[in-house]
Amino acid sequence: MVKTKIAVLVSGGGTNLQALLDAQQSGALTAGEIVLVIASNDKAYALTRAANAGVPAVVCSRKALGSQAAFETAISQALAEHGAELIVMAGFMSILTENFTSQWPRRILNIHPSLIPSFCGKGFYGLKVHEAALAYGVKVTGATVHFVNEVPDGGEILLQKAVDVLPGDTPEVLQRRVMEQAEWKLLPQAAQMISEEIGREKAE
């Protein structure tokens, strides 16, 4: 079967991108192929990870491009140039509006570091999610892969995995455990699932 072409959108360290690249390498991600990395800023270490893996990367910065419309046009152009069929948001910190997301129904995945609908939506990103979970006192948290629509963290849930909160956890310690036990497993699994689905649709 022809592999589904995947573009990964990043903003930061890119450990989730690395998990996808590793899954490709190890044969856990067989239905898809990462053809492009798009970073929202030129400082993202994820760009180095892409370069090390020999994957083409471009920077699309909303700030540099001057408007949301120009930003979304630049992303769309890069996706088209590389023939992307599936978008995976892996720690992508910029907002994409309905103008963009409506072009890609069930074709944009995002990973969020909590069990949605807890600790999600506007303002819940990065360490803030884990700070909120600890402040609330939940004993179980986790990660969620969901489809992306115009509602922040509001699209249909695809996969979830629970992770224990342990006594003495700091936000940083909890973040790391959620990544190791949930995010780095779930995202490649979800990318494989939807790549297979796209592959089946193309074969029909």
112 catalytic, yes or no? yes
- For 10, 100, 119, 148, the CA distances from 67, given in Å and listed in that order, are 19, 14, 29, 21
Candidates 4, 16, 141, 192; binder of ligand GRF (CB under 6 A) is: 16
The C-alpha atoms of residue 79 and residue 73 are separated, in whole angstroms, by: 10
The interface mask with ligand GRF, positions 79-118, x = CB under 6 A, is: -----------xx-------------------xxx-----
In angstroms, give the least distance from the CB of 58 to ligand GRF: 17
Rank residues 16 and 195 by Cβ distance to ligand GRF and give the closer one: 16
Q: What is the DSSP string of 61-127?
A: -HHHH-SHHHHHHHHHHHHHHTT--EEEESS--S---HHHHTTSTT-EEEEESS-TTSS-STT--TH
Q: Measured at the alpha carbon of residue 152, what is the angle toward residues 166 and 190, in degrees to the nearest 5?
A: 65
Of 4 and 16, which has the nearer Cβ to ligand GRF?
A: 16
C-alpha dihedral, 121 to 9 to 6 to 162, nearest 10°: -40
Site string for ligand GRF, 130-149 (x = CB under 6 A): --------------------
How many CB atoms are closer than 10 A to CB 168?
5
Query: Residue 5's beta-bridge partner residues?
Result: 33
Contacts of 70 (CB under 8 A, 6+ apart): none
Quick one: tokens of 6? 């995947």
> Pick from 5, 7, 9, 14: which binds ligand GRF (CB under 6 A)?
14
Q: Is 126 in the site for ligand GRF (CB under 6 A)?
A: yes
**Residue closer to ligand GRF (CB basis): 85 or 183:** 183
Asked if residues 34 and 6 have their Cβ atoms less than 8 Å apart, the reply is: yes
Identity of the residue, 31 or 145, whose beta carbon is nearer to ligand GRF in the bound complex: 145
- Interface residue with ligand GRF among 12, 142, 155, 188 (CB under 6 A) is 12
Q: Phi first, then psi: give them for residue 165, nearest 5 degrees.
A: -95, 130
Nearest CB to ligand GRF, comparing residues 32 and 113: 113
Among positions 13, 56, 154, 171, the unique one binding ligand GRF when judged by CB under 6 A: 13
Stretch 150-189 residues interacting with ligand GRF (CB under 6 A): 179, 183
Give residues in contact with ligand GRF (CB under 6 A). Answer: 12-16, 90-91, 111-113, 126, 179, 183
Active site members: 112
